[in-house]
Amino acid sequence: MTKEGALLSFADLLEVATVCAPQRDYEMQTELVEQCRSMRRAFVAKMPVRHLFRCEICGLQTGEVLMHFEDPKQPLQAESNRLMWGTPAGHYVDIHKSELHRMLVHGADLSPAFQALLQQAAP
């Protein structure tokens, strides 16, 4: 499976929350995280941060976002305490949008944890 195909396995919870509840999108995203965990469905939760990133290679400039990819069908790789979106129910990777951009657009190496997460993701 391609990286793009693997990414399609993760429901974009902030996008769903923004469409369904634009006045309380972050609160709804948290609720959707719990729903996905109980349904054992892979998801990505997002939290924009206050700064921009600018790619040195292509010049892309956009808002930075912390992204939490989690697949409750995959076992946890290590014990984890409560994170921004609660206690993970399965393998997860936190990554910034700028890192993801460098890996997917410019061919930077995927971290071993992210690569493992994507390899096991099922559509």
Examine the pLDDT at 1 and tell me if it is beyond 90.
Answer: no
**Alpha-carbon distances of 71 from 10, 60, 78, 113, rounded to whole Å:** 8, 29, 14, 12
The answer for residues whose C-beta is within 8 angstroms of residue 48's C-beta and 6 or more apart is 63, 64, 65, 66
Evaluate whether 8 touches 1 at the Cβ level (below 8 Å).
no
Taking the C-alpha atoms of residue 81 and residue 121, their distance in angstroms, rounded to an integer, is 23
pLDDT tens digits along 75-111:
987 766 667 888 899 999 999 999 999 999 999 998 8
What DSSP line would sit under 61-86, residue for residue?
Answer: EEEEEEEEEEETTSPPSS----BTTB
> Hey, what are 122's tokens?
């099922």
pLDDT tens digits along 6-32:
899 999 999 999 999 999 999 999 999
- The vertex-78 CA angle with 69 and 119, nearest 5°, equals 45
